[in-house]
Amino acid sequence: MKIQHPQNWPETAEAAIPIQDQLKSLVVTTDQLESIQYVAGVDVGFLDNYSISQAAVAVLSFPDLQLQEQAITQRKTTFPYLPGFLSFREVPVILDALEKLTITPDLIICDGQGIAHPKRFGLACHLGVLIDVPTIGAAKSRLIGIHQELPPEKGSWQPLIDNGEVIGAVVRSRTNVKPLYVSPGHRISLETSINYVLQCTSKYRLPETTRYADHLASQSD
């Protein structure tokens, strides 16, 4: 797919802040998606003691979840890991990987937060706004927000709240396992995000999309 890479990507939090404040206003958290035929999963890993970032993308058919296409890319890491600024570290490589795809995903499930972020602008929002594709944030752990205890059964969920505002949901993707933190990235509502994450999850805790991407990244051959 054709990707427009932003100019002058920031390398410090100070330079990233104004960009977050500018782009967060472009985030859409209402359903603005077509019928989903292709769902993609993205995962970023590191090599050479973190100096090289590697992104793996897997495109699956929906709802049958069969692998259709995959891509992997590497590039120098230019931004440090700072809670609240993860997208500035991982989005560049992800854009490289997406650019290699022949298929344009109708939806992308990201490994990180969507609006469940201090500025309501997590990795999934940043990626979604830049490429104008619906995205969902499905993180393995919490960044911010509080929630009630969650029943142990697969499918149960509780709203994630920050300052009285619902910013996402804590979702049990599998019975008796740690929950997933789901939040809208771009062009999708929270309810729809939860539904797609569950529909993309079969036998394991993580959605099949991110599992394929994780697997691809760990092989890198």
Partner DNA sequence: GCGACAG
Partner DNA sequence: ATCTTGTCGC
Q: Which residues contact 18 (CB under 8 A, 6 or more apart)?
A: none
Based on CB atoms, which residue is closest to DNA, 117 or 187?
A: 117
- Is 106 part of any known ligand binding site? no
Rounded to whole angstroms, the Cα distance separating 190 from 78 reads 32
Based on CB atoms, which residue is closest to DNA, 39 or 206?
A: 206
Rounded to whole angstroms, the Cα distance separating 24 from 9 reads 16
Rounded to whole angstroms, the Cα distance separating 23 from 89 reads 16
Q: How far is CA 10 from CA 70, 108, 210, 214, in A?
A: 28, 24, 27, 27
- Is 96 part of any known ligand binding site? no
Q: Which candidate, 102, 85, 101, 95, places its Cα nearest to that of 131?
A: 95
Q: How far is the CB of 140 from DNA (least distance, A)?
A: 3
Q: How far is the CB of 23 from DNA (least distance, A)?
A: 13
The one-letter amino acid code at 43 reads D
Applying CB under 7 A, the residues found at the interface with DNA are 43-46, 81, 83-87, 111-113, 117, 122-123, 137, 139-143, 176, 217
Based on CB atoms, which residue is closest to DNA, 32 or 51?
A: 51
Q: How far is the CB of 163 from DNA (least distance, A)?
A: 14
Q: How far is the CB of 176 from DNA (least distance, A)?
A: 6
Annotated binding site for Mg(2+): 43, 111
Annotated binding site: 43, 111
